[in-house]
Chain A
């Protein structure tokens, strides 16, 4: 596919969609997901699957864990002689005020965009859990004669969502921003766009001229009468991770075989950083059911309806239900967790009982000893 990608690792639009509990010390894109992945893996894998190999990753702050995760890009086959993965750290200077919005950022990485030789460009956020087929999106973009194609999905809208009203061909003929939610499913735009590089450069200029901030909302709302904008709906599982509740729910949805089949496809695998963990050891007192577990764990307690990341230790008598336990966390003897999200390197001391609820999970911060 003749395209490069600008991948945002945070939302940069001052929205509430940043999950501060988990992204306080990391980018949204590097939030761990599904026992061994990070959110950025889904978008990177889709890009690599469509042979997009020039990827500029925008990151501004808290990027330690992100850099650690992506490294040279080797695990995604993105350590290339030509192109490959490039981390772009936008900066403010005399002419560019960095107001934490996407247009200022795009302007500040203009040099990278100019240097790209591909005709098309993908602009994307890295907060979706999806196995996206960019080749299909591109084919539809061409077939539709579109100027801009935007990914969308049917979902219950939330405040701030942009509803796309489309004709039968998928052309956007009206839009509506919602201030309140609704009970009916609507077609809602997601922050993944496909367009020509030349149009992107024009849009950046317009954006600077008129003080636009948010790529999706400003471009679509101000240009849909002028440009051919089409919606592209992805068939299959697609979740936007924008709250703790959704985060827990979406993780636990990986326990469903059919959902897993829609995300982890053999012909377009989700790639992630390889760590040399040993296989997971189950002890004599292990009692595990309906759980998704990474390598390197030692499990000697009860685990039910849960997601367990690499190198987690569950001691004898401990009980974990409906929870997410991240890398290197230790759950000591007879401790009990229900609807808990335990971040990396935490330690839950013996005999402690912690419980949240499915719509309000309890968070244990990185490295916290409870």
Chain B
């Protein structure tokens, strides 16, 4: 059918991201905005494009509408191709066997037909939930050099954090002899990044076997990888050195945004050799007014700023009026911050309105008991009325306070 490809990518983008609470009420986690003009999925899609992978299947499930619209033809990532390109793969019903994707492995299993159109030698399995820049081509070279059946990208994490990851225990040649999911007493600090290269022939066999196994969770981490390890297939760990972050919680999403303002952090978005692409909104340059004071911040096209902005990220088309203060915050597209409003240590989602004089969030110094403090979140399109106070850790649901 299609032209033969050496390697195609399958991107798991169905994640609900339930720990992002109000930010994922109406969209899948990969569609969550990040870093002024991006969505989380832009990083993996740009990595694919920059690594020369021209065929990407995007597996969607949870609230896919916004994500589908965002991906479109794949043109922003240069993935609108005559052969291959990007294809959104939702679960579907055929006769009686239609069903949701039961697990990560089942999602790939249900799309075996899609993969076989390209007769690939290798399949790259990715997750659309992470922020990182990585050359998958180099990882493929490693996979071939080692003659591996599976290569799993690993990141060196601090030992005290290792128990919250899937940990790979390896021999000197980086071959994996043991895999432990969130071990209490980790033996190694090599954490799986959720980036796998499989030799397709092998993966296909294990997917089919797994599907026939009663009671399997149909999950890569829980089933496929342990099964392959137990059968004696060749598993290798590919060490990755660089910035990688799972932005799955409110805190980690906020931190990852703040990392962009930290010159000592190695995530460089403006590398001309490794651009992060995104779908642009049609807008104008940013206007900085006479009353504005902006320091250590990132501001995007279409903003109109008359306020104090420090240590913050403003997405496109944000309006921030006179005497307002935005500090240590992330303000997403088209939000409005009224006169004299204070937004500190907060995430303000798209289209939200913070009316004049309202207060959202507070600095941690004001809270001697740190357990009472956290990032305040205002959901998509919510309205915070004049004089209202949104406390740290508080979250407003999308559309909250909006007159119907």
Residues of chain A having any CB pair with chain B under 8 Å: 34-36, 74, 255, 257, 260, 264, 269-271, 274, 276-296, 303
Contacts and interface: CB of A to CB of B under 8 A. Distances in A.
B277 interface: yes
Given A276-B277, A282-B299, A283-B296, A296 B270 contact: yes
Given A280-B298, A295-B301, A290 B278 contact: no
Contacts of B1: none
Nearest to A306: B288
Nearest to B269: A278
Given A276-B275, A278-B36, A288-B294, A293 B300 contact: no
Question: Which secondary structure dominates chain B's binding surface?
Answer: loop
Contacts of A270: 284
Contact of B292 (A36, A289, A292, A295): A289
B288 A294 contact: no
A284 B295 contact: yes
Given A270-B284, A282-B299, A295-B301, A290 B289 contact: yes
Contacts of A282: 294-299, 309
A137 B301 CA distance: 31
B80 to A, nearest CB: 10
Nearest to A293: B286
Interface in B279-322: 280, 282-301, 304, 309, 313-314
A293 B155 CA distance: 38
A276 B300 CA distance: 12
Interface residues of B, number: 36
Interface of B: 35-37, 75, 261, 269-270, 275-278, 280, 282-301, 304, 309, 313-314
Interface core residue of B261, B278, B286, B298 (most chain A CB under 10 Å)? B286
B276 A276 contact: yes
A255 B287 contact: yes
B285 A279 contact: no
A289 B270 contact: no
Given A276-B276, A276-B278, A289-B290, A284 B296 contact: yes
A292 B287 contact: yes
Contacts of A290: 288-290
Contacts of B285: 34-36, 292-295
Nearest to A255: B287
A260 B309 CA distance: 23
Contacts of B296: 282-284
